Amino acid sequence: MLAGLGRWAARRRVPVLVAWVLVTLAGAMFGGAVFDRTQPVGSLRSTTESAVAQARIDEMSADGEVIVAVLAGRQFNATDLIDNASRVMFDIRAIPGVAEVTDSYTTGAYRVSDDSQKSLVTVKLRPELSKKDALAVADQVAAALRRVEVPELLLGGKLLAERRFGEQAIADAAFGESLALAVLVVVLVVLLGGLAAGSLPLAAALATIAGTLLALTALAGVTPVSEYAVNVVTLLGIGLAVDYSLLIVARFRDERAADRDAPVPELLARTVATAGSAVVVSGLAVGVTLAGLAVFGDPLLAAMAMGGALVVVLATAAGLTLIPALIAVAHQHIPQPGARTWVWRRDRRRGPGVLAGLAAFAQRWPAGVAFGVTAGLLLLSLPVLHLDLGNSDARSLPAGSQERQVAEIVEREFASSNIQPITLVIQAEADGAAVSALLAELNELSGVKDVDRRADLPPGVTIVDVIPRQQTSSERAQQLVRDIRAMNSPVPVLVAGSAAELVDAKDATAGLLPTALLVVIVATALLLFVLTGSVVVPVKALIMNILTLTATLGVMVAIFQWGWASSLLGFDSWGALDLTTPLLLSVFIFGLSMDYEVFLLARIKEEWERRGPGDHQANNRAVLAGIVATGPVVTGGALSIGVVFLGFALGELVAVKEIGVGMAVAVLLDVTVVRGLLLPAVMALLGRRNWWPGTPLATTLPAEVRPARQPHNERTRSSSR
């Protein structure tokens, strides 16, 4: 079937190219609308306790959005400042949509820093305002606050931080993609030896991005999609499209070198029948890992899973149809490796390639290499034992943004007057004995500063705000949530608040992670079994992927949680990783690691079958030949996708930077250490046992699409360049 698809794409290249051009143009024209339709997406399912409790609270006494302002740079009690600020505060109260103003000039609140150089103002908006209307009122409040005669005015709060996050996400995406694509052009031209050849993977990447943005625009009409999801999904799309394109182009060059007299449609039939099967299996493997995100069921990850599935389908389709059609048009401009071109000015026929050189070394010393690499990866994994997760909120914004500065000033200098409460919804009358006993018990809990009971509630319900002594993000506040839930209350109690949401998010992740991993591991193992007919190979591949993942997460803890090299990467560590980062990295790393694993194993298996089962050395020769043939594709793909990830690592949002840096580290470790050293070392140790039970389920290529055989030394030499 794949051979027929390759032949069809070559013979019907004009309709195929027209279809993809239409998709690209539609994506360019309408796909950008996704950024206008994105919205902040929470990371909690609606069925969690804190979400249920918050919904009940909103029904009875919903809170509006809050604008937080810091007035800084002047002595708080200067006579003219008191008069000026008081007039402004009364003007703000008169703005339609403002519900309440709390300040140190016109209310009894005293929110002044120890040095009297900063004062805190909070403006609560009416709860019935829509998000759009609330932002409009917030802009009016900001304009009024700017009339306060202070050297520095900083504006923040959740509402403004979310808007800033969205704007920064769009800016980071534009910067990251533009930089990545610009550098990618140079990398691909050098790798493939010419502008025309280098443009093929780039065309596939652009078509995949445009199609993905178009699909996400439609998806945003059905389910909430965040700006963060758009960034991450487009990043994945570029990487997959380039990887698949390089594999198809490289295999076409091999087939053409093996049979120079064959017509192009037949060469493309052989190309898609061989490399195309690896693309299909890889696409399925990446799709399965993305399906693991859907297991968690929260809106943010669900949107990423759906968007990721779309991008995998588009990247796979581009690799199987668009690239063969482009090759059919431009095949004369695709040079053979080693041919002299304006890019390759000297003979490139020397040397086996980096990956092949590493593999040859690993096969000479398999036990030592396997032990040393495994020990090194485990050492890099040790920081994972100290992993701390949190909701990054305003702290993921650039260090110079007002919204982040306000959050940090409030936490540092106004913490005692601005700690978010842990809110309890109690199904009982406020004046009942059960509630009184519960309140007394709450006051005795360690870490409780105060307990306030809300008024004006419907009968039969009591809402209590428990003020912790430490900030929401602290471990002590989270432990207080667990202590409250562990109390033996005679009446039903639900716990809400920021600390409770963080606890629920962590617990949900820990509870569902085994199920998600099981889905991913079982499905990918089955795919590799179908590809290779071996039970040993899938187990080995899964273990190596897990080592790559844990080592990468260990490096991430050191960089983003402990702050190592933070100044070099241009960010300030806030002492934790974003809650979604390990999940997303797990999925993307597992998917891309499987991507390279499939590329290598498909060719290694082909070499093994071509030689026929033999002794231990036959296995080693098959492994080395497969790595020599596919190594340039893997290293080229890794270099290209590394450029893409580093483009996003240069963005300003810490959450996006975490993904960019994490994926760049993972690709570096996976391609050099794991695929270049550990894989050939372990396969050398296992020998023929790699292929047990030895009954391949993968479809054997029909004779009419089998490539012409070359002498082994000639085939190896041409494939290595």
Range in 21-35, 241-255, 599-613, 660-674 with the lowest mean pLDDT:
599-613
The residue among 710 and 288 whose pLDDT is bigger is: 288
Residue-level pLDDT at 706: 45
The pLDDT of residue 93: 95
For the chain, which residues make up each domain, given as ranges?
2-37+163-331+353-393+504-699+709-719, 72-156, 421-496
pLDDT digits (tens, 9 = 90+) for 206-219: 999 899 888 888 87
Tell me if the pTM is above 0.85.
Answer: no
User: CA dist 381 to 551, 558, 562, 574, 585, Å?
Assistant: 4, 10, 14, 21, 14
Q: Give strand pairing partners of 156.
A: 68
CA 213 – CA 30 distance, rounded (Å): 8
Residue 598: pLDDT over 90: no
Are both 72-156 and 421-496 of the same fold? yes
What's the CATH code, domain 72-156? 3.30.70
- Whether residue 708 is predicted with pLDDT greater than 70 in this model: the reply is no
When pLDDT is cut at 50, 70 and 90, the band that residue 570 belongs to is confident
Query: pLDDT band at 346, cuts 50/70/90?
Result: low
Residues 6+ apart with CB under 8 A from 204: 241, 242, 244, 245, 315, 318, 319, 322, 323
Superfamily of domain 2-37+163-331+353-393+504-699+709-719: Multidrug efflux transporter AcrB transmembrane domain (1.20.1640.10)
**What band does 351 get if pLDDT is binned at 50, 70 and 90?**
low
Q: Residue 666 has what pLDDT?
A: 92
Query: Of 105, 111, 34, whose CA–CA distance to 70 is shortest?
Result: 111
| pLDDT value at 718 more than 50 | no
Average pLDDT over residues 675-684: 93
- Length of the chain in residues, anyone? 721
Residue 686's CB is within 10 A of a number of other CB atoms, namely: 18
Taking 50 as the threshold, does the pLDDT of residue 626 lie above it?
yes
Average model confidence (pLDDT) across the chain: 85
The predicted structure's pLDDT at residue 12:
94
The 3-class secondary structure across 153-215, one letter per residue, is EEEECHHHHHHHHHHHHHHHHHHHHHHHHHHHHHHHHHHHCCHHHHHHHHHHHHHHHHHHHHH
Read off the pLDDT of each residue in 36-53 and give the average, rounded to a whole number.
Answer: 78
What is the Cα–Cα distance from 209 to 599, expressed in whole angstroms? 23
Looking at residue 530, what is its pLDDT?
86
506 by Cβ neighbours in 10 Å (0-12 / 13-18 / 19+) ranks as: middle
Segment 380-404 mean pLDDT: 87
Task: Tell whether the model's pLDDT for residue 293 goes beyond 80.
Answer: no
Q: State mean pLDDT over 552-578.
A: 89
Phi, psi dihedral angles at 578 (to 5 degrees): -60, 145
Asked whether residue 301 carries a pLDDT value surpassing 90, the answer given is: no
Mean pLDDT on 439-450:
89
| Residue 160 pLDDT | 93
pLDDT at 614: 58
C-alpha separations of 135 from 98, 171, 460, 494 in Å: 12, 20, 35, 31
Q: Which of 192-201, 464-473, 537-546, 660-669 has the lowest mean pLDDT?
A: 464-473
Work out the pLDDT band at 615, boundaries 50, 70, 90: low
Over range 466-472, report the average pLDDT. 83
The pLDDT-based confidence of 417 (bands split at 50, 70, 90) is low
Using pLDDT thresholds of 50, 70 and 90, give the confidence band for residue 519: confident
For residue 335, whether the previous peptide bond is cis, meaning omega lies within 30 degrees of 0, is no
**In contact, 719 and 249? CB cutoff 8 Å:** no
pLDDT of 189 above 80: yes
Query: Per-residue pLDDT averaged across 519-524, rounded?
Result: 82
Considering the chain, what percentage of its residues have pLDDT values greater than 90? 35
Phi/psi at 706 (5° precision): -75, 135
**What is the per-residue pLDDT for 234?**
77
Give the model's confidence band at 347: pLDDT under 50 very low, under 70 low, under 90 confident, else very high: low
CATH number attached to the domain at 421-496: 3.30.70.920
Check residue 471 and report its DSSP letter.
-
Looking at per-residue pLDDT, the higher value among 62 and 257 belongs to: 257
pLDDT on residue 102: 93
User: Where would I find the H helices in 318-401?
Assistant: 323-330, 354-364, 366-381
148-157, 183-192, 338-347, 523-532: least confident range: 338-347
pLDDT confidence of residue 715 = 39
Q: Are strands 577-578 and 389-390 parallel, antiparallel or unpaired?
A: parallel
Task: For residue 179, name the pLDDT band (cuts at 50, 70, 90).
Answer: confident
d(C-alpha 32, C-alpha 26), whole Å:
10
Q: Mean pLDDT over residues 332-340, rounded?
A: 81
pLDDT of residue 82: 92
- Give the pLDDT confidence score for residue 208 in this predicted structure: 92
Residue 229 has pLDDT above 80, yes or no: no
What does residue 497 show for φ and ψ, rounded to 5 degrees? 110, 165
pLDDT reading at 698 higher than 50: no
Q: For tokens 């050191």, what's the residue? A: 558
Q: What's residue 380's pLDDT? A: 96
Q: What is d(CA 457, CA 633) in angstroms, rounded to the nearest whole number?
A: 66
